[in-house]
Amino acid sequence: MSVIALDGMGGDEAPQAPVEGALVAAREGLQVLLVGDEAVLSAEVAKHGPTPSTLRIVHAPDSIGMGEHVAREVRRRRESSIWIGMELVKNGEAQSFVSMGNTGAMLAGALLVLGRLPGVERPGLAVMLPTPGGPTLLLDGGANAEARPSHLAQFADMGTVYMRAMYGYESPRVGLVSIGEEASKGSSLIQEAHALLKQDESINFAGNIEGRDVVSGNYQVAVTDGFTGNNMLKLMEGTISMMFDIVRSSAEGSLRGRLGGALLLPTLREARLRLDYRRYGAVPLLGVNGEVFIGHGRSDAEAVANAVRGAAEVDRHGVLDELRKAIAARYRPVTDELETPDALAAGE
């Protein structure tokens, strides 16, 4: 059975939300290692009744705050919950590490402790988007503020492997995010990446796509750099929130609006649930030599529990092994040194 290490000190609502989410997952039978200050976590766990046998606390006296700019200093914070959580995965004591904490520190810790899969140039954040035609994987969602054409080609390869292993798509359609469908459109990065993807026989490259196509349901993998991807996600999040606010305001403005709103309420609730980031809990960092998941800083207990469930599901499907085989078959090990890890984070 999968063992999931969870950062008990990560996120805006820590330690309450991580502890509550860990307890929910543990009471469902999942094996959870809760990483953080033992005294703090034990006191929080004790508030919720008997501790399930599937939950264990791993002491980490240090923690990296959400607002700290410490990516360069992660290697000096070896008693932090992030560093120790990564080491649990590296040493085989856990199959996955999940944190709702500092994104830059998570990226740096993953690179420093676990390293990249041999052949991977840059890891990417794989963000699942609900669409009318099924889930679409956006990659990169914020790990790399800058990218090369070869990075985007690898994102397409890793996204293809992930969607095949997790969702059973035999040949997932891959789209390259640009400002037009024509191969000549977009920056030099996009044009060069388009040429590489067109030659890649291991993927089903459907050509350039525009922002609206990402959520159309016609593509299973949408490839972009982390700066663009992260901004797209934030724009989607803000737009969804604005739309629901407009509907609520309009419904409250008149008797007719209130009556119509009452009729639409069940449908609107269902739509909001489908679009809620808590549904997936956390997103995988593909390309590192271990299973690492990064969640939203505002995550509550429900999001944390879903993140732990999701990590166990990814491990059950053997995604890391499939990625390792696919990358080894197509790419030589990378020998160049990465820039300082914090330079890779597009940032939360």
238 and 194 in one domain? yes
Instruction: Tell whether the model's pLDDT for residue 207 goes beyond 90.
Output: yes
Going by C-beta distance under 8 Å and a sequence separation of 6 or more, which residues neighbour residue 17? 11, 100, 299, 300, 301, 303, 304
Angle of helix 38-46 relative to helix 16-27, nearest 10 degrees?
A: 60
DSSP classification of residue 202: T
Same domain, 132 and 197: yes
Same domain, 105 and 210: no
Instruction: Kindly state whether residues 115 and 134 are assigned to the same domain.
Output: no
| Last residue within a domain, chosen from 277, 299, 324 | 277
Q: Prior bond to 140 cis, omega within 30?
A: yes
| Tens-place pLDDT, residues 276-319 | 556 667 899 999 999 999 998 888 999 999 999 999 999 999 99
Residue 282 belongs to some domain of the structure: no
Domain that holds residue 311: 1-120+287-348
Between residues 301 and 253, the one the model is more confident about: 301
| Domain end marker among 242, 277, 312 | 277
pLDDT recorded at residue 336:
56
Percent helix, strand, coil in the chain (nearest 5)?
50, 15, 35
pLDDT single digits (tens) 135-176: 899 999 999 889 999 999 999 999 999 999 999 999 999 999
DSSP run (H or E) holding 160: helix 149-167
